[in-house]
Amino acid sequence: MNENTNNNNNSNGNKPKINVPRPNLTWLYVLIALVFAWLWFTSDGGSATKEVNYTEFKDMVTQGYADKIVAYDNNTLEVYIKPEHIVDVFKKDADKVGRSPAVTVQIGSMDTFDKFIEEEQQNGNFKGTIQYDKKSDYFGMLFWNLLPIVFFIGLWIFLMRRMGGGGGAGGASNVFNVGRSKAQLFEKGTNRITFKDVAGQAAAKQEVQEIVDFLKQPQKYTELGGKIPKGALLVGPPGTGKTLLAKAVAGEADVPFFSISGSDFVEMFVGVGASRVRDLFRQAKEKAPCIIFIDEIDAVGRARGKNPSMGGNDERENTLNQLLTEMDGFGSNSGVIILAATNRVDILDKALLRAGRFDRQIYVDLPDLNERKEVFGVHLRPLKLDNTVDVDLLARQTPGFSGADIANVCNEAALIAARHQKKSVGKDDFLAAIDRIVGGLEKKTKVMTAAEKRSIALHEAGHATVSWLLEHANPLIKVTIVPRGRALGAAWYLPEERQLTTKEQMLDEMCATLGGRAAEELFIGHISTGAMNDLERVTKQAYGMIAYAGMSDKLPNLCYYSSTDEYSFTKPYSERTAEMIDQEVQNMINEQYTRAKELLKQHSEGHNKLAQLLIEREVIFAEDVEKIFGKRPWTSRSEEIMAESEKLEAQETKSLENKTDEQQLPEKKEEGNGENGIPADGNATTETNNNSK
């Protein structure tokens, strides 16, 4: 008691270093030694044994060598030899064969053995003892008795490790840490990603810059009574860099960064998700200031009550309730900021999106033309390029591509160049990579007849001809009749990235899409299934224009689309209105089909030249079409954007030069003055005055 009291006093005082005694394992070694010693003595101290056949055994007994015979239930015998006959049997001295050397014999049956022993006893050849016993295998008994126990212990440990999720922040993997957070922690200084590594997304970076400023200088906001947003939700399509942007925020602020997926909170055990949420926020508060990033938060933040069959005690809803509580449970001075990413913000719970939890929604959109140039600049750095690569062309040719798609294009181009034994990656490799990703694998080995090839060439030439002659159609890049993926041919365009789309622009696109079917009917005399994809696109576009955009003469300014009733099975209009929509769609498509046929009739000669050139070359470019139909009189929107961006860059460069000149003027004035402000030279005074004027 006195010793315990002293130890407690020391621990409560200055907390001196206590030498905790290590566990003494001597008793374990002694126990193991005793077990082996017992096995040694029970096995006759390692005495020598010799196996003989039954005939030799009979000779030994007849000659009087046997002192004791032990018969086992497995039809084996152990014959112990008299000390004076050890040399005769083992050919060794008695001190070299142990205390009780024995001979083992395998017999046919116990009845035969009993008859033989009775005869030898009657003849006086055997006067020893006979013992009947069961065969004992101590190692075998120990093995078979312990094997089931060891198996079940190992199975239990394996199951506990699996349920524990492979370990966590708390130590060993067992069932007791199943409720610990699985978040991956990036300590301060280990995350080297900054805003420089995020190409494009200028608006999104500007939004999160305030979060970085708060983590660096929180007193700047707290002194004025302001509060930093507790959470920011990054919303955008897949591959736009939401996760990278969150890492850049942590790298710029140089604070710890917890990264976890929304699905990591979901578990088969009741209460585990809520427990992991509590453990995550507990760790975050210990590391504050820090950032918690929850990727794909829609896995746990889906709106409650959407699945009535699961009842009101759904485990996912319990996890969401705990997340809501934790997010609204700490103040802004705790320094814990939550970032989350999703591409399904429409299905998130309203309580999660309210002010005080996720105060801001930052939309990370697909990169536009200038941003794609920046993204290409990042991913082209590690590649060996030749002088044919045009970044402006690549950016224009990849509309709708995300950052991940552009990275895939660059990697695919490098693989294609390496496949063709090239020393550097060129323009053709990038164009082939884009075609590979968009259209699929090229199939030059597909066999086609001359009639099929001509039909495909006329179809694709119809697309190219009509689109070249329409003002609002997308600019043509190339036309090919080489099968790629599921398509037998394709016309490649540079889609215009419009912020607003007019009815005339959509009608021109529809007319160009129907140009292939119109060419088949005019120049072949029959139609085929090759226009199935074109008809599908045109039909969807027409229904969208009439039912959603209100671009109809009979149903103007009406929209039958509701974003809140996405999963509704009822139509928001009557059957009569549905018939009117169908009729309007049919009329619109027929008008554009007739328009495409008229254009092809007017330029049938140029269309036939283009189709013949396509049959000969299989791939033609916009330059070839321009030689036949002449240059298009319209400027594409992409060219306008590029020209505008170059103009802005020139203005910025000029303004920077002007600022530099203004900063250099005071320096020249100081050089022209002597001591006490007196001009050192009259010429210098004149120059200064002239400059000031």
* Residue written as token pair 């700490």: 330
Q: Is 112 annotated as a binding residue?
A: no
Span between the terminal Cα atoms of the chain, in Å = 97
Q: Is 428 annotated as a binding residue?
A: no
Rounded Cα gap, residues 291 and 307, in angstroms: 32
Q: Is 243 annotated as a binding residue?
A: yes
Q: Is 483 annotated as a binding residue?
A: no
What residue spans of 342-401 are helical by DSSP H?
350-353, 369-379, 391-396
Q: Which residues contact 200 (CB under 8 A, 6 or more apart)?
A: 241, 367, 368, 370, 371, 372, 374, 375, 403
Rounded Cα gap, residues 177 and 302, in angstroms: 26
Q: Which of 250, 242, 243, 232 is nearest to 193 (CA)?
A: 250
Q: Which of 275, 280, 301, 279 is nearest to 290 (CA)?
A: 280
Q: Is 379 annotated as a binding residue?
A: no
Q: Is 463 annotated as a binding residue?
A: yes
Q: Which residues contact 429 (CB under 8 A, 6 or more apart)?
A: 413, 414, 416, 417, 420, 422
Q: Which residues contact 641 (CB under 8 A, 6 or more apart)?
A: 369, 370, 497
CB atoms under 10 Å from CB of 47, counted, come to 13
Q: Is 594 annotated as a binding residue?
A: no
* Residue written as token pair 């790629």: 484
Q: 136-174 in b/e burial notation, b at 16+ Cβ within 10 A?
A: eeeeeeeeeeeeeeeeeeeeeeeebeebbbeebeeeebb
460, 496, 509, 520: the catalytic one is: 460
Rounded Cα gap, residues 191 and 247, in angstroms: 8
Q: Is 236 annotated as a binding residue?
A: yes
Residue 268 DSSP SS3: coil
Q: Which residues contact 285 (CB under 8 A, 6 or more apart)?
A: 330, 334, 336
Q: Is 459 annotated as a binding residue?
A: yes
Q: Is 238 annotated as a binding residue?
A: yes
Rounded Cα gap, residues 228 and 288, in angstroms: 15
Active site residue 460: yes
Binding site residue list: 236-243, 459, 463, 534
Binding site residue list for ATP: 236-243
Q: Which residues are catalytic?
A: 460
